Structure 1
């Protein structure tokens, strides 16, 4: 392939592109592509530029449902696409998958989309969800390739006739960097530490985690510890507020660790990773990273989450929205010996190495770009 192919990556935050697609960007540059990143400007935009990409700012109202704002976003995409010659655009995150695809088609640019969890779109029968489904239908029929992170989403898309099966493929989530996330056993100090990493949303099961922590703290006292890490008070109807979080911390049932660019330091300290999400996930990055570091996983038998656990082998699956089921599974972890937990965690590493190595994802992207450019 000539080394003058222009590739554009778009997402609804620069944070996402830097944290989830950094190695993909590096691989594209190493393969001779000219890379541009298009996302709202935030503290990660400059970090993207240090990788060697050109950065373009765009405004995207992430969770908003105002059609005027979305129309503005579409117009902005069109403006960028029409003023530069791009060969292929890789879209991540929902609104990018819709509006960037529409704009790309107007400008005859090849499109590769990544459907990472459909959130509430297909659960909800609200007017907003119906409009979103219609927009997906119109836009995705114009894509050249669509990657899904789990079989459930792919099946749903095909059932709703949103895409032609021939252009769909499945990826192992966004993959995980196995050299950055390596096995680090927790200390054997008599305390069993749990960690939940996510945006602090009730849909991610934060409420159930806190209730479980309250029950288990009452039973095991200081022999158990429950930690939370991730963005707080985000713009989302199911967001946990700062006041709520502070009340849980004051009650002494959880520790809130804020946000971190070096999550591996926090994962290293714990005995088990937890995510009781009932949201339609892609494949949660936090579970992949914890698995790569040799941690047992407790998560829900839910879309995207269940892909990371062989129940009873490298962790446990609990019933979505059931605090009691979560308590039962966490207690299984607490009652294991330190050695048993480490052994279970090594099974996680094995699973991640076999199924979720980031290099698998990067190679799929390089192949897909080659494929759509040759069409």
Structure 2
């Protein structure tokens, strides 16, 4: 079967979806990856896996209708040339315009991997309401005849139903994120000496950067030995992005070390004691949290859709209120006052990563749901009830649902 995989960034193909692409190839499929930017390292890796790369230019952010129409046209030309049997798209614009193109051209199968609803759905500001209205309708058109929509958390699934993006009759499958490569992200010993809090994420206001630096400032007054670090790429074009100038200002005014974005976060995760992500961005299931858990680190994050899913309160981390400096500060203070919590929660994080978020289990579930496995898969992921914050997760995660209609659609539990 010929499969097109549509992305919004070449880097993500190998660093975030590499294991999935290799699994598709290992199951005998002809895989072609699509990205808007050229990247020699990515192209080299894909070629080594026997996967082709096609470039389709795209404005990753912004709402210029002419540019978006050009993207739709480019996707249609590509699909007419490649004649795929299945299209799998992830992130907003590839899902929207790839889905519409696939429907117009009657591509046999289209699947959307919704890793989160994104910043448009993060808050109810007037500026975003009009854009949310448009994006909702575009999503609806894109997935109207899809074979399946994968979501990472129950909140996104329900909101998509409430907004009318999908109907209750459509095949919406909840999976435990993108999974994490437990061989690449190994359990690392906790650092000795000073307690170090690390935030990893794109440098955006919605990721809770300002709340983190203010909490760090207040904690540093009475705990001068504690360290605080932020690691991430600048976001110049994102509406809530933080650029180099603003980062330099924050570094001068707050006791926080800002580390430039990197292609390998593992050394930084290994050097931290506690991972922090005070995001109020509309996450699907943050990969950075899974990477920290696999490394064996406690997690402080917000009680928000996506962020809350991997956390068992008081066992592998703490949930805090979004946009709340005092709540964040209090959670960090607990580790400062009781360092033994770091050790116990670190072990629990790794335990949950192995039981639920192993990328091999997640990818097998994805391929199984898309009917792309050479052999039937009979080994569901091991799930513990205590690790499932939402009562309907056991049905959605790690368990094969055999009842399918001839069209491949399945009613969603309401």
Normalised to the residue count of structure 1, the TM-score between the two structures is 0.94
Q: Please list every run of at least 4 consecutive aligned residues from structure 1 whose deviation after the TM superposition is greater than 6 angstroms.
A: 371-374
Alignment size in residue pairs: 368
Range with bigger deviation, 75-84 or 154-163 = 154-163
Equivalent of 1:99, from 97, 100, 103? 97
Higher helix share: 1
Corresponding residue for residue 203 of structure 1? 206
Corresponding residue for residue 322 of structure 1? 324
1:315-354 to 2 correspondences below 5 Å: 315-337=317-339, 339-354=340-355
**Unaligned runs of at least 5 residues, structure 1:** none
Range with bigger deviation, 155-164 or 292-301 = 155-164
1:138-157 to 2 correspondences below 5 Å: 138-157=141-160
Partner SS, residue 256 of structure 1: strand
Equivalent of 2:307, from 305, 308, 326? 305
Contact kept in structure 1, 2:7 and 2:94, CA below 8 Å: yes
2: CA distance, partners of 1:364 / 1:164: 22
Contact kept in structure 2, 1:276 and 1:298, CA below 8 Å: yes
Match status 1:115 vs 2:119: no
Equivalent of 2:226, from 221, 224, 227? 224
Range with bigger deviation, 66-75 or 117-126 = 117-126
State the shift of 1:252 in Å.
Answer: 5.7
Contact kept in structure 2, 1:200 and 1:234, CA below 8 Å: no
2: CA distance, partners of 1:219 / 1:48: 50
Backbone CA RMSD of aligned residues? 1.7
Partner SS, residue 184 of structure 2: coil
Range with bigger deviation, 68-77 or 166-175 = 166-175
Corresponding residue for residue 59 of structure 1? 57
Contact kept in structure 2, 1:15 and 1:42, CA below 8 Å: no
State the shift of 1:137 in Å.
Answer: 1.3
Contact kept in structure 1, 2:232 and 2:260, CA below 8 Å: yes
1: CA distance, partners of 2:199 / 2:143: 33
2: CA distance, partners of 1:374 / 1:320: 41
Partner SS, residue 121 of structure 1: helix
Partner SS, residue 16 of structure 2: helix
Partner SS, residue 302 of structure 1: coil
Corresponding residue for residue 172 of structure 2? 168
State the shift of 1:50 in Å.
Answer: 3.4
Match status 1:256 vs 2:252: no
Corresponding residue for residue 39 of structure 1? 35
Q: 1:232 to 1:193 in 2, by over 3 A?
A: same
Encode CA deviations 1:97-148: one digit per residue, 9 max, x unaligned: 1110111122222111011111233344532221111111111112111000
Contact kept in structure 2, 1:185 and 1:342, CA below 8 Å: no
Corresponding residue for residue 132 of structure 1? 135
Range with bigger deviation, 247-256 or 92-101 = 247-256
Partner SS, residue 299 of structure 1: strand
Contact kept in structure 2, 1:89 and 1:104, CA below 8 Å: yes
Encode CA deviations 1:58-117: one digit per residue, 9 max, x unaligned: 112112111111100000000000112211011000111111011112222211101111
